[in-house]
Structure 1
Amino acid sequence: MSEYERSRTMPALPEHIFDQASQVRRLDSWLPSELHVKAEDLPAVTVHEDTTGEDAAALFRAQPERLRLEWGTRDSHGYAGWLQVVDAGSGSSEVTVHLSFFDERHDPGADTVRSALEDSLARLEEQVRLRVDNGG
């Protein structure tokens, strides 16, 4: 099993970040660009990966009361992940993304995953900034 985690402090209220991150129709704006999520009957979703051309049955759950997202493969134990937003004070928040790969065949490697997590957090911060700057 491989596990990866990255955090980033963002200059926005936790609720604004969670609202941006948790909407399925907006996931493509901050997830790695090769991943595309299509909602089915939530929590069921399908994740399309451009690099392989494959679709994977997955689950996506938002827990607004905890400012937490959880996801993972639906029919196998390939991977799971979560995103947690916490108030960091003074109008900022800390966002942590965690990925666990239970099946090594799903793990693209430490450098690739770490880079993807950093890029995703940067993209999420940019989407939140654009949304807040444009009045929500």
Structure 2
Amino acid sequence: MEYSGFRHVQASPEQVYAFVSDVRNLPRYLPTTKHAEPQGPDRVVVDGVAQGHDYHADGQFHQDAEQRRLSWSSDGEIRYSGHLEVVPAGTGESEVRVHLTFDPDPQHAATQGTPGHAPQDHQIQEGIDKALESIANQLEGRGGKVEPSSAGTT
């Protein structure tokens, strides 16, 4: 399953990339994420609450400053990977593009007895949209993180 989204941000690509690539900032814009820290080169661990359940996850987190691109993948039962790119979009503006891939489809995994609580398609897309909104809020001085409506529900 594939999901994507984009958003214009009124900040330079360098400012946006500096913000999103700092692992300490992940909880400031990633839905449901409450804590994140690096675990050595290209590794990260995150903790949070999704759909009313605590989670602890680790995975790969690669930063390419030259291309202003982040890429990541999970090590968990529901495997996913993704990337975020920051591209120029006019003078002093950026476009942030996000793409996620799940393998297998989270709903198929849930029906096959995979532990955990697989997100629905609309929850994944809403999570992408809220993450992008949170990035814009932080960098444009309009507030902070926006959680999806389903973040705390079961």
**Coarse TM-score class (shorter-chain normalised):** 0.7 to 0.9
Measure, in 1, the Cα distance between the counterparts of 2:3 and 2:54. Answer: 24
The residue identity in structure 1 corresponding to 2:94 is: S
* TM-score calculated relative to the size of structure 1: 0.85
Say which structure is richer in helix.
1
Runs of at least 5 residues in structure 1 that lack an aligned partner in the other structure: 131-136
* SS of alignment partner, residue 66 of structure 2: helix
- Residue of structure 1 in register with 2:100 after alignment: 99
How far residue 10 of structure 1 moved from its aligned partner, in angstroms, is 1.1
Q: CA deviation at 1:37?
A: 2.2
Local SS of the residue matching 1:118: helix
Distance 2:34 2:97 in 1: 19
1:1-12 equivalences under 5 Å are 2-12=1-11
What is the identity percentage for the equivalent residue pairs of Structure 1 and Structure 2?
A: 30
Query: Could you tell me which residue of structure 2 aligns to residue 118 of structure 1?
Result: 129
Structure 1 residues 60 and 121 mapped into 2: Cα distance closer, same or farther (>3 Å)? same
Range that drifts further, 75-84 or 20-29? 75-84
Q: CA RMSD in A?
A: 2.1
**CA offset at residue 33 of structure 1?**
3.0
Question: Residues 46-79 of structure 1: CA distance to partner in whole angstroms, max 9, x if unpaired?
Answer: 1224133232221111110000000111366700
Match of 2:89, SS state, is: strand
How far has the Cα of 1:112 moved from its partner? 0.4
TM-score for both structures, normalised by structure 2: 0.76
Alignment gaps of 5+ in structure 2: 110-117, 142-154
Change (3 A) 1:16 1:70: same
User: Shift in Å at residue 20 of structure 1?
Assistant: 0.5
**Using the alignment, how far apart are the partners of 1:35 and 1:96 within structure 2?**
23
Farther-moved stretch of structure 1 (22-31 vs 107-116): 107-116
Matched residues in 1 for 2:29 and 2:82: separation?
A: 15
Post-superposition CA distance 1:19-59 (Å, at most 9, x none) = 01000011110110345322211311112241332322211
